[in-house]
Amino acid sequence: MLTFVVPLLVLSALMIAHELGHFVAAKLAKIRVEEFGLGFPPRLVRVAKRGETEYTINAIPFGAFVRMAGENEPGVEGGFADKSKRVRLAVLAAGPLMNLLMAAVFFAFAYMSGWPTVAETKHAVVLRVESDSPAQAAGILAGDVIIQMDGIEVDSAASFSRYVSQKAGQEVVLTIRRGVGYVQVRVVPRIPIPPYQGALGVGITEETTRIALKYSPPLEALYLGAREVASTLAFTLSLPALLLRQGLDPSLARPVGPVGIFQITGSAATQTAQTGWWFPILRLIGVLGVALGLTNLLPLPALDGGRILFIVIEAVRGKRVDPRKEGFVHWIGLVMLVLVMILITYQDIVSPVPQFQIPNPF
């Protein structure tokens, strides 16, 4: 039940926030908003009517919508299409921007509720092994955890680096935890020591032994939340370059549809219930908010970004694209998006996305 209700609420909240952005911007721009609906038609009940706007609850309990007068009909008094290019662009951009604002708020809540932070570290974890290095010759592997050096406990990566540097040219016996077992290897740190590789030719970090929650005050949390939105955007935009440089496993950048989002959100909700930490679900909502905002800004037909693109074309041409032609392009785009979503949903079903895990911030 938890893994169904929570994802449904999260996705609905993100979509309601998106439509609320359009709604507020339209009202500020004096655009006649005919309906703001929770869920999708058919209509169940009209809750209220304020001015020209009906507020409704609809039968499909998912998301929301805003219906503006004259969305694709220039000449309708008080209609969307009758407004200036700047006004239309602002109204269209307000939905995605509201998602980014919501993401910053939820990231801030995550920082206030306790952000998992490394509290204790121990030993040295091998991140990479350089080719033609003493470590490679000795059979050391990425992922090995170095427990002891010549019988001395390794208490940090720094102490390990200092010790092997001092032992350059001399044999060192390392006790390594590999998987569930232990092995001993003999290695001779090299002389001279190549730059950026170290005496053994390994990249190391420290093994996390305890994670604690760090609580941020509200103002600091808001700053950190905004910074988290910026870093998430930067990482997302850099994904194509990372994939081209083969610096990222393609499976980690796979597109995810509603089924995949349900799987991830359900996993995060389960972790929150099991640990008592609000961080998993709050941070995930922030990530999804950034993803939804950025996706809607893509210059694709049927998305806000696609409609913004037509406004840009209008500004360059000096005249509006025929609304019927624009509407046809958006209709074709919507059909294509539905087909792509069906393919992604099929992938999410046959190959479920990995379960959400509390990330190590270091």
At 194 the pLDDT is 78
Has residue 234 got a pLDDT over 80?
yes
Over the chain, what is the mean pLDDT? 87
Q: CATH number, domain at 203?
A: 2.30.42.10
Beta-bridge partner residues of 115: 214
337 falls within a domain: no
* Domain assignment of residue 182, given as a range: 118-213
Please write the tens of the pLDDT for every residue from 53-108: 999 999 988 789 999 998 888 888 889 988 999 999 999 999 999 999 999 999 99
Radius of gyration of the chain (CA): 27
* Banded pLDDT at 49 (limits 50, 70, 90): very high
102 falls within a domain: no
At 359 the pLDDT is 46
* Banded pLDDT at 356 (limits 50, 70, 90): low
Residue in 349, 261, 337, 355 with CA at minimum distance from that of residue 300: 337
173 falls within a domain: yes
At 360 the pLDDT is 43
33 falls within a domain: no
Please write the tens of the pLDDT for every residue from 140-174: 998 899 999 998 988 888 888 889 888 888 999 99
133 falls within a domain: yes
Query: Residue 255 in contact with residue 346, Cβ under 8 Å?
Result: no
Q: Give the pairing type, strands 145-149 and 152-153.
A: antiparallel
At 346 the pLDDT is 86
Has residue 113 got a pLDDT over 50?
yes
Considering the entire predicted model, what is its pTM? 0.76
Query: Residue 71 in contact with residue 99, Cβ under 8 Å?
Result: no
Has residue 212 got a pLDDT over 70?
yes
At 361 the pLDDT is 39
Q: Which residues are catalytic?
A: 19
Q: What is the domain count for the chain?
A: 1
Query: Residue 189 in contact with residue 200, Cβ under 8 Å?
Result: yes
Q: Which residue has the higher pLDDT, 133 or 255?
A: 133
Bond prior to 42 in cis (omega within 30° of 0)? yes
283 falls within a domain: no
231 falls within a domain: no
204 falls within a domain: yes
At 362 the pLDDT is 35
